[in-house]
Structure 1
């Protein structure tokens, strides 16, 4: 590796993805910090290092001098899936802890990672703050949206990588990992097919029903995306404040699946016949929501002659409203789930091609499903898709494992980014990569 080992610190360390990547390049971790006690214990077990706790409680002077600062700082507060409070809440302010360390220790390099929405959060003000502060500290820096699928790993998980150096040459000559032409199928990370299905029967029934729905449509008719079946037959108004509409006005319209609202003698009964996104809407619905609703209604009007009452009644009877939403993201392919990837999300039942594993998320109920075997992916399979070496120990429970896997940065992406960023610090050999599929 390099002629001289660089010292790096691993902040918000989690399972230690940055640690693995930089150690693979020959560098040495001199400090790690992680809020979770369980993950600190696991860090010690995996890497033999005493991982410190809450970074806000650690004196900056006690952090060893280092050459590289690595941090996948908390992203939930910047994510579209979160509350987007950003730097208004404690987690969002943790970036300032990074700034304090950079200001005091002045490491030559840093590598940061977060959700891609960090760029657009708060109309760009969050990124403007970050870039201004890094510039004030004298760093040259660059950023790029990267995803494992760009380097032949079957997971679409777009994240922003921010790299910096006190030397302009490091940034000027850095080459971001190029996009590869091919993406492996998810089969490349799976265990053998002898594993029994662990998918709940009610979810299998949901998938069978949506399969029937697809097969009733003509081959030249693709289902609208996203499909909100609650709008089939509905005609309530879209350009008004729903919560302020009086009862007599509601009586003019139809609710979910064409239910006549004139039969409701109270607003409470009216709202029972409307989708949740109506009940929770404050003010006039945004344009995007109006568009989705209108297009779903149009799709149903044009295709209801193909949709049997039997199938539609099964969909209406689904236990959860999210199961009544459907996202078929495989246009032009066979309308079967056998060769697809499936995910039950709050936004609906999502179907993807088998080289399009969705982002692993921290919610265990949204673990991706392998259509070929009608089972959830296993923690060790999720670890492979995140490029973790086989010897790295995960938390003991499935829920805890996927919480870690959903929060971590992809090891192979970090490795390639770090290789390029650090290549000018002494002599670097020909690039080698981590073959995450070699032991599968």
Structure 2
């Protein structure tokens, strides 16, 4: 899907610049009250029109809405300023007059009704007043038809050399879009970002005015020793230079106040960036040494706008225009482009064709924790949930005493740090009033899952036992052979649940004995359940034509068994490799 973007409160355009790096996004309009910022926006955001205007002005607002509709805007982004999270102990939230710009953002979204909107803001947006403000925002957007996902992301996890944590809200009319997850182990440092730049002294360098009205092609400037625009050091006073010289390389000022001249005391927060760490959050006063840890690691000066821009992850060919105070404000207020790019990739992925919907089954490549919101919005109700989620048991083991030692029980990243209980409440909410739920789990967590099920209104009936006739061997001289797995069976309180006892047996035991999967039935999935096991469970606990949901589908053993027994099926799987296996098995089960 192609997204055409309106960037509200666009500033210099960092948000748009990052999103436009993805071919599926194109910024067409920007709005901001700052003329200098709009000049920067227009010089750098190719093909977009930046408009100077006050969003509260009805004429400006009408113009923006009409132009957006004419240009086919289907995505709105921005970080509406909001200062009033509470006032004198009262939870005023959106009723606080200081949050009027947030309300204007909501009004424009409601008038244009884009497919997607994104809000980027300070962390306190989500947790202020115990979530009261966030709940108000959710209520406003849900009322006009949006599925919302909210949370915190940190720029340093997306290749930005800066510790900058932000609140993100993503709204969509038809998809439940997750927030991006970065790679916290692949950190870019201050050294990576700025060490190749020309080492300037106080007052040296080239600022934005050297760029104005000159061809941009003259200023391609990436390497040390070449001209780099917006790379001009603040011309510090002699007193400031004396103070800077007292701060050791990559260090902080002495904790003991130093008398300089007369009543001048060196008792403020003067600190240097550290080469091999990320920078703290860049703000609009990064050119002021007393502002905190934003002086150069070794040189006696504050960092330059270009150094700050690199720490924000702007490319060198992004040129900031206007007076230095405005340039600093543009850089400090910007959304880091690489963080914006990551948000865009997540949205783009959510709109890729990763769903198969047939008459008797539907399968989705998605994050189950997020996708459930889409099911809720579409008023989906299921008769049963039967699922085999990750057990959280992957680890390295020592099997050296075995004749053919294994490396350990490590099924993959999907089985590590899995939230065992966080999904249950949301899925129980889409369970029919007579519905049942069966969750496979490790013996380590049986009691915890039972407690969670009871908490959300499930009457736990039994623990089912899968006894393996050919279990995986382990260290037989020190441990019992692990030949059993468990599943918890519960029903909604007051339900008339299904329980189909065969007529040819006096009673049923809760023990199901089968072999591990082998032969033609075996797939690449390391924890695949056998069709024989799943069919036996489904025949007892469901009826023909019932709709069965598996939020953690894996290779789709539950789905295949459901279809072969005349049930309908919905499956969700987050791993692409297993999703492809599942689709092939589901198609084969229908004779496709």
Q: TM-score range by the shorter chain?
A: 0.5 to 0.7
Equivalent residue runs for 1:74-153 within 5 Å: 74-75=81-82, 87=94, 92-153=99-160
Rate the CA distance shift 1:359–1:66 in 2: closer, same or farther, 3 A.
Answer: same
Rate the CA distance shift 1:313–1:357 in 2: closer, same or farther, 3 A.
Answer: closer
C-alpha deviation, 1:67, in angstroms: 1.9
Contact 1:316–1:324 (8 Å) recurs in 2:
no
Contact 1:15–1:43 (8 Å) recurs in 2:
yes
C-alpha deviation, 1:77, in angstroms: 5.5
Equivalent residue, structure 2, for 1:399: 325
Rate the CA distance shift 1:352–1:29 in 2: closer, same or farther, 3 A.
Answer: closer
Deviations 1:187-234 (A, max 9, x none): 2222535412455442344355576xx99xxxxxxx9xxx6x6xxxxx
TM-score scaled by structure 1?
0.60
Residue 41, structure 1, aligned to residue 48, structure 2: no
C-alpha deviation, 1:163, in angstroms: 1.0
Rate the CA distance shift 1:48–1:70 in 2: closer, same or farther, 3 A.
Answer: same
Q: Aligned partners of 1:175 and 1:124: how far apart in 2? A: 19
Equivalent residue, structure 2, for 1:358: 280
Equivalent residue, structure 2, for 1:424: 350
- Alignment: residue pair count: 301
C-alpha deviation, 1:114, in angstroms: 0.5
Contact 1:146–1:158 (8 Å) recurs in 2:
yes
Residue 374, structure 1, aligned to residue 372, structure 2: no
Q: Aligned partners of 2:156 and 2:262: how far apart in 1? A: 37
Contact 2:15–2:334 (8 Å) recurs in 1:
no
Larger Rg: 2
C-alpha deviation, 1:34, in angstroms: 0.9
Unaligned runs of 5+ in 2: 204-235, 355-592
Equivalent residue, structure 1, for 2:182: 178
Rate the CA distance shift 1:369–1:105 in 2: closer, same or farther, 3 A.
Answer: same
Q: Aligned partners of 2:82 and 2:312: how far apart in 1? A: 17
Contact 2:94–2:136 (8 Å) recurs in 1:
no
Unaligned runs of 5+ in 1: 216-222, 230-311, 326-347, 429-440
Equivalent residue, structure 2, for 1:277: none
Q: Aligned partners of 2:200 and 2:273: how far apart in 1? A: 22
Equivalent residue runs for 1:211-360 within 5 Å: 314=259, 319=264, 323-325=266-268, 348-350=269-271, 353-354=274-275, 355-360=277-282
Contact 1:382–1:405 (8 Å) recurs in 2:
yes
C-alpha deviation, 1:130, in angstroms: 1.3
Q: Aligned partners of 1:98 and 1:22: how far apart in 2? A: 19
Greater share of strand: 2
C-alpha deviation, 1:349, in angstroms: 2.9
Equivalent residue, structure 1, for 2:26: 28
Rate the CA distance shift 1:74–1:156 in 2: closer, same or farther, 3 A.
Answer: same
Equivalent residue, structure 1, for 2:243: 206
Q: Aligned partners of 2:92 and 2:298: how far apart in 1? A: 40
Equivalent residue, structure 2, for 1:196: 201
TM-score scaled by structure 2?
0.46
Deviations 1:34-79 (A, max 9, x none): 1112222332222343322222221164132422111122255669
Q: Aligned partners of 1:104 and 1:353: how far apart in 2? A: 47
Rate the CA distance shift 1:318–1:153 in 2: closer, same or farther, 3 A.
Answer: farther
Rate the CA distance shift 1:152–1:5 in 2: closer, same or farther, 3 A.
Answer: closer
Rate the CA distance shift 1:66–1:50 in 2: closer, same or farther, 3 A.
Answer: closer
Q: Aligned partners of 1:7 and 1:210: how far apart in 2? A: 48
Contact 1:147–1:156 (8 Å) recurs in 2:
yes
Q: Aligned partners of 1:210 and 1:42: how far apart in 2? A: 35
1:376 match: secondary structure: coil
The structure, 1 or 2, with the larger RCO (C-alpha pairs under 8 Å, 6+ apart) is: 1
Say what the alpha-carbon RMSD is for the aligned residues. Answer: 3.4
